[in-house]
A and B are shown apart, each in its own frame.
Chain A
Amino acid sequence: MARIIVVTSGKGGVGKTTTSAAISMGLAKKGHKTVVIDFDVGLRNLDLIMGCERRVVYDIINVINGEATLNQALIKDKNCNLLSILPASQTRNKDALTLEGVEKILEELSKDFKYIVCDSPAGIETGAHLAMYFADDAFVVTNPEVSSVRDSDRMLGLLSSKSRRAERGEEPIKEYLLLSRYSPERVKSGEMLSLDDVQDILSLHLLGVIPESKSVLTSSNAGTPVILDEKSDAGQAYADIVARYLGETRPHRFIDEKSGFFRKLFGGK
């Protein structure tokens, strides 16, 4: 049986797709057969970050509508043959995604793959709901700012009540925090929330902190997941995250929390 991971956040632009690309590559590099699915129908960009946009022929909607088989739609990654990508449709409307359709696809993929990574769209509407509904694990990507943290909290509420596991009364989805675009300097200057501030609100199991890094943009422009840039801080952060998820203990890095945003705000009290 495959393990289904949803990469989710609520808020847009926090690094879900960057994370989905990195961790799916990381899992595959560790020898696990992995598939990453783009649930962002209408705004697909996972294929761009994975550098396979020119090889997209069929997409997830074609599969749901029976216009293509899963095997026709899956794209083998150019860097790692254990990794496949199921792209989203650029042209269709979001409503083309259905619960039954998604369930069937996940069931079929489960037979073949060890990990299924679902890149959720922003928001809490249909696409995001379908991306998380069947999940076993949730990677909640959060930026160190109040609105992102709040949206993550909201998403965590949905994960614990609106998922298949919740509805069936099964063991709840395992929730992990990935704090992304972290900048210790900006935390120090009080512009950003510190890891402590975020954990104070979310109290989640921290899988890792991903620093704000130029290498993310460079890698996505090159169409290679940042985890393959082993020299970069963000790449190393993602490698740590994958290792920790697979059970390794690694000390947390890229954190430096002296004076947090809240402490600055409420300092006198």
Chain B
Amino acid sequence: MTINSHSFPAVEFKSSTFSVPVLSIASNDLILIQQLLDEKIKLAPEFFKHSPVVVDLGEVNKKQLALDFEDLATVIRKTGLFTIGIRNSNEAQQAQAISLGIPVNTAPTSDVRVENRKPKPITAPADDEFVTNDSTTVTITKPIRSGQRIYSFGDLIVLAQVGAGAEILAEGNIHVYGTLRGRALAGVQGNTEARIFCSDLQAELISIAGNYKISDDIHGAVANTPVQIYLQKNTLVVKPII
């Protein structure tokens, strides 16, 4: 019997596109880096927990600061993040990354986003549910439960509630026509024009283009009143829609 006798392939390479945060390093002070990371993560612990990151060493290398990648990787790992790649790295750093089993991106891009977007559902680890379709607008009709995560390469429309502990992310706008109790992050690739609209704002966290607010700091929301959230001079504004 040969391996080929199976009617289906046991192994298959499929092209998929993932959106992964990039951690840009501009200093070689590991203690400072650790402090800053801890602070950032405290802001949204669930969001960052086990989150994959691509480490960008462009800034620190431009400044010609010596940085031992292995030490940096240890610091990052301690924070709970997983380094799944590096870019804008020098040869020594690349060698260290490879020996740690971390892939090296040598393409001279300034944006990690892979351009070849496959309009296909992407299977990701854990409970994450990454969805996209041709028009890049994703529409969800069922409640998004605690622990679920939805990602849209464009706008995201949710015609149900978003439970506490759930997370919705979109590169464009987010519309929630139900109660928003979880986390909503719009403009996750840096689109500062993105907005969040929802009919009942009780979110744990809202973010536009990386500007966060956690529930305690969210003011201006009146229960059961439709609101929109947008960026004004780097500050999140929560206002009734009409």
Contact = CB atoms under 8 A, between A and B. Distances in A.
Contacts of B145: 153-154, 156-157, 160
Nearest to A200: B179
A157 B142 contact: no
Given A150-B146, A154-B145, A154-B147, A161 B127 contact: yes
Contacts of A269: 222-223
Interface string B146-172: 111000000000001101111000000
B165 A150 contact: yes
B142 A158 contact: no
Contacts of B165: 150, 153-154
Contacts of B160: 203
A41 to B, nearest CB: 23
B38 interface: no
Given A266-B223, A269-B223, A158 B163 contact: no
Contacts of A202: 143
Nearest to A10: B146
A103 B146 CA distance: 27
A200 B179 CA distance: 9
Nearest to A201: B163
Of the listed residues A158, A161, A162, the one surrounded by the most CB atoms of chain B closer than 10 A to its CB is: A161
Contact of B143 (A150, A161, A203): A203
Contacts of A151: 146
Of the listed residues B143, B145, B164, the one surrounded by the most CB atoms of chain A closer than 10 A to its CB is: B145
Contact of B166 (A157, A203, A266): A157
Interface string B188-223: 000000000000000000000000000000000011
B221 to A, nearest CB: 11
Contact of A154 (B129, B143, B146): B146
A161 B127 CA distance: 7
Contacts of A157: 127, 144-148, 163, 166
B55 to A, nearest CB: 29
A200 B181 CA distance: 11
Interface in A140-164: 150-151, 153-154, 156-158, 160-162
B236 to A, nearest CB: 22
A162 B127 contact: yes
Contacts of B144: 157
Contacts of B147: 154, 157-158
A164 to B, nearest CB: 15
A15 to B, nearest CB: 20
Contact of B161 (A150, A154, A161, A203): A203
A269 to B, nearest CB: 6
A90 B144 CA distance: 37
Given A161-B148, A202-B143, A269-B223, 13 more contacts: A150-B146, A150-B164, A153-B146, A154-B147, A157-B146, A157-B148, A157-B166, A161-B129, A162-B127, A201-B161, A201-B164, A266-B223, A269-B222
12 contacts: A150-B165, A153-B145, A153-B165, A154-B145, A154-B146, A156-B143, A157-B146, A157-B163, A158-B127, A161-B148, A203-B160, A203-B161
Interface of B: 127, 129, 142-148, 160-161, 163-166, 179, 181, 222-223
